[in-house]
Amino acid sequence: MTRTEPSPAPAEAPAASPAAGTPAGPARPRARRTLLIAGLTAALVAVTLVSASVGAYDIPLSDLLASGAHRLGLGGEPLDRVGESVLWDVRLPRVVLALLVGASLGCAGALMQGVFGNPLAEPAVIGISPGAAVGAVAAIAFGLDFLGNWTVTVFAFAAGLATVLVVYSLARSGGRTEVVTLILTGIAVNAFAMALIGLFIFFADNAQITQITFWQLGSLAQATWPKVLAVLPCAAAGLLAAPLYARRLDLLALGERPARHLGVDVERLRLVLVLLVALLTAAAVAVAGVIGFVGLVVPHLLRMAAGPGHRFLIPASALGGALVLLAADLFARTAAQPAELPLGVLTALLGSPFFFWLLRRTRNRQGGWA
């Protein structure tokens, strides 16, 4: 009886090796996202320190850190009387407000693009920004101040929320909401909101017109600690709640029908996220005016760099939005001293051609949005 030698097994070691194959695939994007988050955080800290130091009254970084340590009871020494006033009453409220507004707009843009599956989506598309602007302009034009520092913020949020509810109810049919109908309804509401703003300006006096015009151009020049405290609760609530919906947004990216089969209540998710976007946007608009393209370009860039996963995209968009707006504000108040460039105009001038390039690149490489 002849003994047969067993044939050698196929060489599968490279595919099964933990150093190659499947584990390496997800490891690379995860490492890239970690590096991006770390890089955004480091850049944000650096720009924050520069923005707090540089201006019409320059404060050396060492003196800035010494004053901060003194305020925290960790030693250090205070600045002179003028320096302390400039740093703590003028410069830092503006820096903190820029961080809050930029983070809110970036996060809102990421949520909107996730809800609609389209890179053109931003809060203005469904009327949140113009609606909030109507509320704020009305409060300014009629001289309302019965809520103190909260008046403009409350009016902006109420008007933005009411606008969203109107748009959402008009776009619903048969218990479903069509994305295209929602966007077209938002465009119509945008036109109506701009007409209302024009009407309020017509009836306003010269001082109010100046304030409204400056506010419509977008600026952080009038930042104060009370304004920071006015926007902080809305921004903090929205930024903390947004990551909780990351997994459901990832499932929604598969399509409405697959998301429903996987247990996602699509209609409820859309409504909750639109209200969350209204919260973030109305708070930002109320204190900084109309600032565009931050929520449009930042999430798109991050999605191109590290993919569409919302567990990364939502916090990264908040960091990126804060970084972009703080850097833009630093440029706006130092590029043409002693004059100050309008922040909203600056972001639009830089953001619109950049977004045209992004849109063209996406079309050429992918044939559209995928």
Q: What are 277-288's pLDDT values in tens digits?
A: 888 888 888 788
Q: What are 309-321's pLDDT values in tens digits?
A: 899 999 999 999 9
Write down the pLDDT at residue 21: 42
Of residues 174 and 43, the one with the higher pLDDT is 43
- Split at pLDDT 50, 70, 90, the class of 26 is low
Whole-number Å distance between alpha carbons of 304 and 36:
12
Instruction: Evaluate if residue 355 carries a pLDDT over 80.
Output: no
- Per-residue pLDDT, averaged over 164-189, amounts to 75
Instruction: Evaluate if residue 324 carries a pLDDT over 60.
Output: yes
Write down the pLDDT at residue 136: 84
- Split at pLDDT 50, 70, 90, the class of 27 is low
Q: 92 vs 15, 157, 279, 332, CA distance in Å?
A: 55, 25, 24, 16
Instruction: Evaluate if residue 340 carries a pLDDT over 70.
Output: yes
Write down the pLDDT at residue 49: 94
Mean pLDDT, the chain, integer: 82
Burial grade of 323 (CB within 10 A; 0-12, 13-18, 19 or more): buried
Neighbours of 322 (CB within 10 A): 27
Of residues 335 and 244, the one with the higher pLDDT is 244
Write down the pLDDT at residue 18: 41
Share of the chain above pLDDT 90, in %: 23
Instruction: Evaluate if residue 368 carries a pLDDT over 50.
Output: no
Q: 251 vs 140, 180, 195, 265, 267, CA distance in Å?
A: 42, 20, 39, 11, 13
Q: What are 90-112's pLDDT values in tens digits?
A: 999 999 999 999 999 999 999 98
Instruction: Evaluate if residue 214 carries a pLDDT over 90.
Output: no
Q: What are 249-306's pLDDT values in tens digits?
A: 999 888 888 888 888 888 888 888 988 988 888 888 878 888 888 888 899 889 888 8
Which domains, ranges and CATH numbers included, belong to the chain?
Answer: 109-360 (1.10.3470.10)
Write down the pLDDT at residue 234: 86
Whole-number Å distance between alpha carbons of 232 and 235:
5
Whole-number Å distance between alpha carbons of 214 and 210:
6
- Per-residue pLDDT, averaged over 40-56, amounts to 93
Write down the pLDDT at residue 99: 95
Q: What are 219-246's pLDDT values in tens digits?
A: 898 888 988 988 898 899 999 999 999 9
Whole-number Å distance between alpha carbons of 346 and 305:
24
| HEC letters along the chain | CCCCCCCCCCCCHHHHCCCCCCCHHHHHHHHHHHHHHHHHHHHHHHHHHHHHHCCCCCCCHHHHHHHHHHHCCCCCCCCCHHHHHHHHHHHHHHHHHHHHHHHHHHHHHHHHHHHHCCCCCCHHHHCHHHHHHHHHHHHHHCCCCCCHHHHHHHHHHHHHHHHHHHHHHHHEECCEECHHHHHHHHHHHHHHHHHHHHHHHHHCCHHHHHHHHHHHHCCCCCCCHHHHHHHHHHHHHHHHHHHHHHHHHHHHCCCHHHHHHCCCCHHHHHHHHHHHHHHHHHHHHHHHCCCCCHHHHHHHHHHHHHCCCHHHHHHHHHHHHHHHHHHHHHHHHHCCCCCCCCHHHHHHHHHHHHHHHHHHHHHHHHCCCC
Share of the chain above pLDDT 70, in %: 87
Q: What are 101-155's pLDDT values in tens digits?
A: 999 999 999 998 888 777 667 777 777 888 888 888 888 888 888 877 678 778 8
Write down the pLDDT at residue 40: 94
Write down the pLDDT at residue 129: 81
